[in-house]
Structures are given as C-alpha cells and as structure tokens.
C-alpha cells in the first residue's frame, strides 16, 4: 500500500491541472472485463476525459452494467465498445464449477449467478445484441471486440464492415 | 473508431509479449467509478498484471460488484481498494432526479435503482463497511480512498492509521 501511496504522490506531481468535463469527450463508453491484463485506456489510445469505462467479471451486461450504461447515456454517450478477451477466467469453466469454488471460499453457495461465459466471439456478439435490445440503452452504435492478452491486439467482431 | 483502431495497432506493436498470469500479482482488486477522469492504473502506479479493476457508475457495491469481487477472491485477491472521487455525477443529484432524466431518455422509469450517492467520505466508508460485512467477500484488508479529479491526489479515508 505504501508503494501505491508513493506512486500516487508522483502521479499528482505531474498531473496536468485544469478541470476536465465529466461528460465523455468522445461520447464513448467501454464495457469490458476486470482482468488484470487489460489496460483499457492504453489499448484504445484513450486520454483522460475521453470515455466512461465499465468493468466487471467477464465484461458482461448485468443489471449493474445496464445501470452504468444508462447513466453514461444521460451524460452524452452515443457509442459503446464491448471488449471481451482471450484466456478469460470466466470461460472454460461452468457455472456449477464457479459455484462450488465460491462455496469452498465462503461456506455457502451464492444466491446470484457467477456468470460463466460461452465461446469468446459468441459472448461478444451476445453482449452487443443485449445492449442493442435493451429498452434502457439508447445508443447510436455498439461495437464488439476481442482483445488478445498475448499480443495486445483488438479484433473487431461486431462492426467490422461499417465505417 | 478508426483512430482507436490505429492506436491499438501502435499499442500492439510495442506490446511486451510474454504470458502474464491471470491472477493479480499484487493480490489486489480496485472498485471504483466509471468516470472519464480516472486513469486507475496510472493513479495507483499499477502495472499490467497487478490488479483486478472493477468499475461502475459511482464505484458502488452492487450485486454485480459483489460477484466480481468474489470471483477476484477466487483468483487470489486478498486486499480491496475502494476509490470514490470528487465532482462525481452520481452525487448532488437525487434518485428521483436520476429517474426523471432516465425516463426522459428512454420513455419509461427504470425498475432498478440508479444509485445516487451520499456525501463523498460517507459513501467511501459505507462501501468499505458493506464489503467487510458481506458474507460473500472474504478479504484480509479493505481500504477506502477519495480521489481528487482536479489534483490527481488520493486521500485515504479508511485505513489511514494502519500499516
């Protein structure tokens, strides 16, 4: 923790002061996984102020990410980028296996879904479709990408043919 | 979108190949807001591979962030850092005002809470307490910070007196 406190002090010393607006400059929100190998801003070349970034286990559309995306749209977001990634720990595992592991850790089976994911491209397409179909999410465009954690490359799964 | 595609190509060209483990090297998870002015890795000096990063509107503990934190604990996380920030758009607004804005955007009032937040320090303390008290979240330490979007500085609200 001490290391992080010192990193933050150095960060603040070089911090470009000046008030950035709280609405996303690129009118963009990114929905992606919490995975340790994703540096979302760097992989997309986003600057401070550009986009809302929503992250959970898997990069899934849940009630909470619907809530966050809806709030984002109220702040001016018009486009959403969904990014799932290779070697995700929410894949190649079944819901039952996740529940068993959770029960071993906590002593009981959680009353909520843990969100094991299907095939990678399929989960991107499904998440993009869910956003498109949600009555709470009004956006002009939703894009879907797969991120390769071993190369740093994004592969466009939904939106490739469009401008 | 073309700009982001090109940024990603450049990112991948300089990407240090080599397989990072999917478990957080620092045994750490960060729960924070989706706000456009937060560069979580930079503000904490975190490298690729160090920590899970969970972000939603407000940095709130919801069923989805409980789910993500539980998954994180199954992957070895022992400490959690909660970061809320100054000038958050989920503050200084009531739940009713958020619902009214949502209804103007979507045509109906959402059946879920939008999550307006109370006083800043109070919301950090409450979120840390909720994590501590959740039967699904077994961690050794939970820290709470306020991030100042105009200075880049973190202020420790919970954990200050401890090592």
Q: If pLDDT is split at 50, 70 and 90, which confidence band does B160 have?
A: low
**Residue B161 in this model has a pLDDT that exceeds 80:** no
Q: If pLDDT is split at 50, 70 and 90, which confidence band does A106 have?
A: very high
Q: Give me the mean pLDDT over the B27-34 stretch.
A: 98
The whole-angstrom separation of Cα B163 and Cα B148 is 23
Percentage of chain A with pLDDT > 90?
88
Interface test with A, best of B21, B41, B67, B77 (most A CBs within 10 A): B67
Q: B56-82: per-residue pLDDT in tens?
A: 999 999 999 999 999 999 999 999 999
In angstroms, what CA-CA distances link A137 with A7, A20, B25, B108, B133?
37, 25, 36, 12, 33
Facing residues of B145 across strands?
Answer: B83, B156
**Residue A120 in this model has a pLDDT that exceeds 70:** yes
| Beta strand B141-147 pairing with B154-158 | antiparallel
Q: Give me the mean pLDDT over the A90-108 stretch.
A: 94
**Closest CA–CA distance from residue B115 to any residue of chain A (Å):** 8
Burial environment of residue A52 by CB neighbours within 10 A (0 to 12, 13 to 18, 19 or more)? buried
**Closest CA–CA distance from residue B148 to any residue of chain A (Å):** 10
Asked if A90 and A41 touch (Cβ cutoff 8 Å), the reply is no
Q: What is the pLDDT of residue B19?
A: 79
What are A61's two structure tokens? 């559309």
From B19, B56, B112, residue closest to A54, measured CB to CB: B56
Asked if A149 and A87 touch (Cβ cutoff 8 Å), the reply is yes
Q: What is the pLDDT of residue B154?
A: 96
From A4, A15, A57, residue closest to B44, measured CB to CB: A4
Minimal-distance CA residue of chain A relative to B24: A36
Asked if A35 and A88 touch (Cβ cutoff 8 Å), the reply is yes
From A98, A105, A113, residue closest to B138, measured CB to CB: A105
Tell me B122's DSSP state.
H
CA-wise closest residue to A1 among B141, B56, B60, B3 = B141
Q: Where are the beta strands (DSSP E) in A4-113?
A: 28-33, 51-56, 79-85
Q: Touching check for A46 and chain B: CB below 8 Å?
A: yes
ipTM: 0.95
Which domains, ranges and CATH numbers included, belong to chain A?
24-161 (3.40.1050.10)
Facing residues of A146 across strands?
Answer: A84, A155
Q: Cβ separation of B39 and A57 shorter than 8 Å? A: no
A42-46, A142-146, B16-20, B91-95: least confidently modelled range: B16-20
**Residue B127 in this model has a pLDDT that exceeds 80:** yes
**Residue B122 in this model has a pLDDT that exceeds 50:** yes
Q: Give me the mean pLDDT over the B9-33 stretch.
A: 92
Q: Cβ separation of A52 and B43 shorter than 8 Å? A: no
CA-wise closest residue to A70 among B115, B13, B9 = B115
Q: Give me the mean pLDDT over the A24-52 stretch.
A: 97
pTM for this predicted structure: 0.96
Q: A48-68: per-residue pLDDT in tens?
A: 999 999 999 999 999 999 999
Q: What is the pLDDT of residue B118?
A: 84
CA B133 to chain centre: 18
Q: Cβ separation of A52 and B64 shorter than 8 Å? A: no
Q: Cβ separation of B34 and A110 shorter than 8 Å? A: no
């Amino acid at each position: 923790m001490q290391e992080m406190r010192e990193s933050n002090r150095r960060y603040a010393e070089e911090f470009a002061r000046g008030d950035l607006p709280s609405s996303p400059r690129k009118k963009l929100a990114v929905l992606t996984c919490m995975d340790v190998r994703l540096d979302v801003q760097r992989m997309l070349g986003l600057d401070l102020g550009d986009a809302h970034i929503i992250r959970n286990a898997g990069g899934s559309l849940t009630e909470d990410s619907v809530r966050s995306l809806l709030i984002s749209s109220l702040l001016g977001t018009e486009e959403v980028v969904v990014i799932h990634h290779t070697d995700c720990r929410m894949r190649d595992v079944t819901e039952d296996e996740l529940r068993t592991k959770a029960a071993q850790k906590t002593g009981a089976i959680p009353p909520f879904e843990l969100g094991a994911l299907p095939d990678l491209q399929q989960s991107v397409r499904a998440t993009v479709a869910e956003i498109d179909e949600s009555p709470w999410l009004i956006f002009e465009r939703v894009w879907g990408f797969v991120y390769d954690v071993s190369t740093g490359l994004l592969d466009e799964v939904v939106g490739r043919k469009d401008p």
